[in-house]
Amino acid sequence: MNKKTNYGLKIICLNRKASFNYFFEDLIEAGIVLKGSEIKSIRNGKVNIADSYAVEKKGEIVLINSHIAKYKHASISNHEPTGDRKLLLNKREINKLIGKIQRDGLTIVPTKMYFKKGKAKIEIAIAKGKKKFDKRVSKKDRDWNRDKARYIRKSS
């Protein structure tokens, strides 16, 4: 009898700042084109996607400004830490993303990076920027939910 192993998701890094600055409309999973030294550095957890975003270049979606630290044991073939990285999506998804960016003025923001069955994946969101008053409202709601949980805990 063969047992199926559940690989699950191993989250590498999250972009918590994105949910505070943007309203998410749609979430899409994409692969990333990486070099060997990049994937080794990612496996060590030395990656940051907090200030990164994705744009369209020559009919492809490219992740810009994501920081993957240099791998210490790599030789001359080491990678550039903040280089552009191509995202692996099918043509229909690329066309959908390009249309939303150009028509609706939305942006593409990475929300988390994780391993799925040994492959590095990134979850990107089609997002609309929040205004200052939207951020205040979301902060007020978060504070109220925290206070409400305290009141419930104390009363019971």
pLDDT tops 50 at residue 1: no
C-alpha pair distances (Å), 135 with each of 92, 111, 144: 33, 18, 14
Question: Which CATH number is correct for 9-130, 3.40.718.10, 2.40.280.10, 3.40.50.800, 2.40.50.140?
Answer: 2.40.280.10
Phi and psi dihedrals of 107, rounded to 5?
-130, 160
Among 2-6, 20-24, 72-76, 96-100, the range scoring the smallest mean pLDDT is: 2-6
CA distance 26 to 20: 16
* pLDDT (tens digit per residue) in 61-74: 999 998 888 888 77
Q: How confident is the model at residue 2 (pLDDT cuts 50, 70, 90)?
A: low
Beta strands in 33-134 (DSSP E): 47-48, 53-57, 60-64, 67-68, 85-88, 107-116, 119-129
pLDDT tops 70 at residue 127: yes
Task: Round the average pLDDT of the chain to a whole number and report it.
Answer: 86
pTM of the model: 0.76
Which tokens in the block code for residue 29? 């999973």
pLDDT tops 60 at residue 143: yes
* pLDDT (tens digit per residue) in 19-76: 888 888 989 999 999 888 888 888 888 898 988 999 999 989 999 998 888 888 777 7
* pLDDT score of 32: 92
CA distance 65 to 68: 9
* pLDDT (tens digit per residue) in 70-93: 888 777 777 777 888 899 999 999
